[in-house]
């Protein structure tokens, strides 16, 4: 089965080399021959075998991407933005999930390397333990870190300035009159958790109050319970991300604590559901389209010029004030 380039070449009355050149749009083919080849391909319903082309040309037109958790709308939106950019250029996305486990992440990256992806977009799930596999990959193909990053690894990265984002939140809550703040965040195993915690500590100053769990709504609910049990509620809750914040809001509502009257609550990321909660959630917006566009731009530069220097871009995120503060 299957029409090959030989069939097309035969029908067009040229060699396979000419057929190949014509179809890949190279110059150095007489217009007349090019048209004959294209016509033959159409008539025969020719479908090029890109696997064979990849073997010979050593490029797969495929980009690998590993994210911690696709089901997280923040990452899903990022994937969607990347995918949109790539398809402008006829490339495809091989997607994998690390479940926030460095071992799984390592397996996934190796699988992508085995598949000879042209480049890798990695959201490294761990500040330290993702370093090894990142180095392995970076030694072979262009790699860019997205959103999260590995400590002290001098490779390209695109994301937001998390510290600046948290700083804005703290200042906003203070301006709204909050005197006693608490930070409900995640254990600093990934770089965003770390940077947001650092940012909070620096902005809130001494005597800061911090509860650390993970980036889940369940942790948000649990943390709110803890705060309620402690008896004296703070007057401002800075959450490590929107999912936590939504958990906090839910738990507070269940206990008849009014937001923003009794306590102010803010999140981070601006996922689509932040706007839908009641009260709508004040949060820090990550410009995902912009992050994705910049990432693909940097990758293309590396792909075009192997010696291109690593480039990092930290975008300053925007505070979105809604009813919860």
**Rule CB under 8 A: which residues touch a second copy?**
47-52, 54-55, 60, 62, 69-73, 76-77, 79-80, 83-84, 87, 90, 92-97, 108, 111-116, 217, 246-247, 249-250, 253, 272-273, 275-278, 280
91 near DNA, judged by CB under 7 A: no
Site string for DNA, 263-292 (x = CB under 7 A): ------------------------------
* 284 within 8 A of 203, measured Cβ to Cβ: no
3-state secondary structure the chain: CCCCHHHHHHHHCCCHHHHHHHHCCCCCCCHHHHHHHHHHHHHHCCCCCHHHHHHHHCCCCEEEEEECCCCCHHHHHHHHHHHHHHHHCCCEEEEEECCCCHHHHHHHHHHHHHCCCCEEEECCCCCCCCHHHHHHHHCCCCEEEECCCCCCCCCEEEEECHHHHHHHHHHHHHHCCCCCEEEEEECCCCHHHHHHHHHHHHHHCCCCCEEEECCCHHHHHHHHHHHHHHCCCCCEEEECCHHHHHHHHHHHHHCCCCCCCCCEEECCECCHHHCCCCCCCEEEECCHHHHHHHHHHHHHHHHHCCCCCCCEEEECCEEECCCCC
Partner that binds at residue 141, options a second copy, DNA, none, CB closer than 5 to 8 Å by kind:
none
CB 224, CB 218: distance < 8 Å: no
68 vs 317 by CB, closer to a second copy? 68
Please choose, from the candidates 44, 9, 10, the residue with its C-alpha nearest in 3D space to the C-alpha of residue 23.
9
- Minimum separation from the CB atom of position 217 to DNA (A): 45
Site string for DNA, 32-71 (x = CB under 7 A): xx------------x-xx--xx-xxx--------------
Closer by beta carbon to DNA, 48 or else 279: 48
Q: Which of a second copy, DNA, none does residue 273 bind (CB under 5 to 8 Å by kind)?
A: a second copy
By beta-carbon proximity to a second copy, the closer residue of 18 and 62 is: 62
Rounded to whole angstroms, the maximal C-alpha distance in the chain is 86
Whole-number minimum distance, CB 11 to DNA, in Å? Answer: 13
Q: Which is nearer to a second copy, 17 or 323 (CB)?
A: 323
- Indicate whether 25 belongs to the interface with DNA (CB under 7 A): no
Answer yes or no whether residue 2 interacts with DNA by CB under 7 A: yes
* Residue 31 vs 71, nearer CB to DNA: 31
Among 11, 29, 173, 196, binds DNA (CB under 7 A): 29
Q: Give the nearer residue to a second copy in terms of CB position, either 39 or 52.
A: 52
Q: Which does 112 bind (CB under 5 to 8 A by kind): a second copy, DNA, none?
A: a second copy
Binding partner of residue 71 among a second copy, DNA, none, CB cut-off 5 to 8 Å per kind: a second copy
Residues at the interface with DNA (CB under 7 A): 2, 4-6, 13-18, 20-21, 23-24, 27-30, 32-33, 46, 48-49, 52-53, 55-57
């Amino acid at each position: 089965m299957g029409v090959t380039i030989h069939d097309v070449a035969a029908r067009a009355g040229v060699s396979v080399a000419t057929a190949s050149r014509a179809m890949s749009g190279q110059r150095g083919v007489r217009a007349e021959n090019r048209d004959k080849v294209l016509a033959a391909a159409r008539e025969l319903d020719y479908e090029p075998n890109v696997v064979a082309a990849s073997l010979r040309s050593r490029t797969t037109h495929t980009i690998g991407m590993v994210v911690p958790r696709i089901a997280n709308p923040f990452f899903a939106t990022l994937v969607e933005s990347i995918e949109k950019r790539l398809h402008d250029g006829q490339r495809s996305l091989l997607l994998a999930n690390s479940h926030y486990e460095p071992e799984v992440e390592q397996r996934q990256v190796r699988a992508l390397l085995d598949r000879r992806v042209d480049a890798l977009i990695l959201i490294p799930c761990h500040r330290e333990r993702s370093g090894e596999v990142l180095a392995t990959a970076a030694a072979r193909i262009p790699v860019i870190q997205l959103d999260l990053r590995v400590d002290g690894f001098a490779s390209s990265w695109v994301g937001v300035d998390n510290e600046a984002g948290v700083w804005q939140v703290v200042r906003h809550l203070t301006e709204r009159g909050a005197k006693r703040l608490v930070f409900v965040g995640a254990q600093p195993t990934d770089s965003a958790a770390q940077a947001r915690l650092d940012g909070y500590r620096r902005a809130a100053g001494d005597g800061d109050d911090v509860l650390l769990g993970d980036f889940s709504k369940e942790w948000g609910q649990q943390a709110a319970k803890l705060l309620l049990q402690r008896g004296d509620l703070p007057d401002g809750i800075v959450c490590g991300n929107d999912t936590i914040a939504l958990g906090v809001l839910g738990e507070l509502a269940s206990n008849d604590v009014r937001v923003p009257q009794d306590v102010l609550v803010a999140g981070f990321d601006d996922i689509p559901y932040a706007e839908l909660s009641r009260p709508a959630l004040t949060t820090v917006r990550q410009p995902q389209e912009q992050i994705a566009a910049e990432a693909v731009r940097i990758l293309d530069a590396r792909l075009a010029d192997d010696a291109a220097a690593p480039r990092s871009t930290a975008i300053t995120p925007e505070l979105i004030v809604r009813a919860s503060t």
